[in-house]
A and B are shown apart, each in its own frame.
Chain A
Amino acid sequence: MHIADGVLTLEATAAVSAVSIYVLYKALKEIPEEKITLTAACSAMFFLASFIHIPLGVTQIHLLLVGVIGVLIGRSAFLAIAVALILQALLLGYGGMVSVGVNLFIMAAPAWIVYELYRCAWMQNLNQKIRFFLVGFLGAFFSTVLLTAILYFSKEEYEWAAYTIFSVNIITMFIEGIISMFLLLFIQKTYSNILKV
């Protein structure tokens, strides 16, 4: 899901980064001091998720956890994911410093969308397993849609790459949904107070 530096055009990077920076600024302004550590915990989990490889046939994938992070901390996901992305860019080489704003938008905006959807009455009325599945599935789905759209509109040459990325990630969305469902069911059973939105 990480777009490396040098892939996108200046226009695409500047426009998307401007939106990310604005939301990041608002989130930073609003975050209460007592919520900093919970946000840091989500940030650390986001960072760690890239090290846990989930088998998928002959290949492996890693989770994004953006849906789960969104449900736990809402708009503060922009802060949590920004810190994790900066660390991933500098320590691991995933993404880069110039494209950090774009990658932040691709991964944090879905977390916020999932948070807002999770609070809706229709979502709360759904069966618990389906609701938890949707948290993971929609997080990965919106991330893929945004990644695909940004690549598609950035350069004409990326059109087919964007289609391919979307197609390949469909299976990933389902696996993210299934694992998120088990994850949230476990949390609901053992530590339910953190799931109160």
Chain B
Amino acid sequence: MSKEGFNLIIALLYSVSIAFSEVEIYVFIPLIFLAFVHKAYLLAIFKRLLLLNVFIIFLVLFVLFQDHQEAWQLFLRTNAILLFNLFLFYQSKGYDIVRGCYALKMNKKFVALFYVTISLIEYLFCELKNVKQTMKMRGFSATTSMFTYQTYGNVFALLFIKVIRKAQHIQESMITRGFHGEIYLLQAQKLVMLDYALALLVAMMILLKGLAI
């Protein structure tokens, strides 16, 4: 199995095993391992986790008034899953996820759609940067007004038109290259010792959870 496919499976296994049950101490063992492996990005990952907690804390506060234990469990559960995925995919640009889908032999059209989407996202980010610079140069400042909403409406429309035209160009070039609903991707990365260790820890965690039930 490729590393990309492995990451998708391990993320799904970890998420499923925690999402619907009580959080026990051994749930954090794979997280500690991943924190050690990704120690260089630890601060940035925790900063992102903090930002992602806005909606979670909102829900936790509502539950807190009714059931302390459930609120605490909800907070731990969501954060453990978020942190695990952040560790695994922090450096990802998206193409590895497509390769993962390809390695897992997902539907060919789905993989092709995935691949084109990522290339269009890259294109859109460049276009958005240009649009933002242009707006700044023209002295636009966003306020709560109809003019601002009209400007944003026009910006979104412009981006839509640009991305659809770009998509048409991609389609033409794909047809020229003989596209028949399938995209062939380059060789994927191989698994290393750290991946096997992570798989072992997650398997142990699932086993312990099973024994606890």
Contacts and interface: CB of A to CB of B under 8 A. Distances in A.
Interface in B115-159: 116-118, 120-121, 123-125, 128, 142-144, 146, 148-150, 152-159
Contacts of A150: none
B114 interface: yes
A48 B117 contact: no
Nearest to B164: A41
Interface in B42-97: 48-49, 52, 55-56, 58-59, 62-63, 66-67, 70, 74, 77-78, 80-82, 85-86, 88-89, 92, 94, 97
Which of A56, A90, A186 lies at the interface centre, i.e. has the most chain B CB atoms within 10 A of its CB?
A90
A43 B157 CA distance: 15
A83 B114 contact: yes
A98 B15 contact: yes
A97 to B, nearest CB: 5
Given A4-B56, A39-B113, A44-B120, A190 B146 contact: no
Given A7-B78, A191-B161, A179 B59 contact: no
A178 B109 contact: no
B156 A63 contact: yes
B78 A179 contact: no
B179 interface: yes
Interface stretch (B33-41, B167-175, B186-194, B196-204): B167-175
B82 A187 contact: no
Interface string A34-49: 1011111101110111
A90 B89 contact: yes
A104 interface: no
B16 interface: yes
Interface in A22-61: 28, 31, 33-34, 36-41, 43-45, 47-49, 51-52, 54-57
Interface stretch (A111-119, A120-128, A137-145, A157-165): A157-165
* Interface band, chain B: 35 or more
Interface of B: 11-12, 15-16, 18-20, 48-49, 52, 55-56, 58-59, 62-63, 66-67, 70, 74, 77-78, 80-82, 85-86, 88-89, 92, 94, 97, 107, 109-110, 112-114, 116-118, 120-121, 123-125, 128, 142-144, 146, 148-150, 152-161, 163-164, 166-168, 170-171, 174, 179-181
A96 interface: yes
A167 interface: no
Contact of A40 (B16, B89, B92, B117): B117
B108 to A, nearest CB: 10
Given A38-B164, A45-B124, A54-B149, 11 more contacts: A7-B78, A36-B181, A47-B121, A51-B128, A55-B142, A79-B113, A89-B85, A91-B89, A91-B92, A157-B67, A183-B154
B62 A37 contact: no
A84 interface: yes
Contacts of A172: none
A148 interface: no
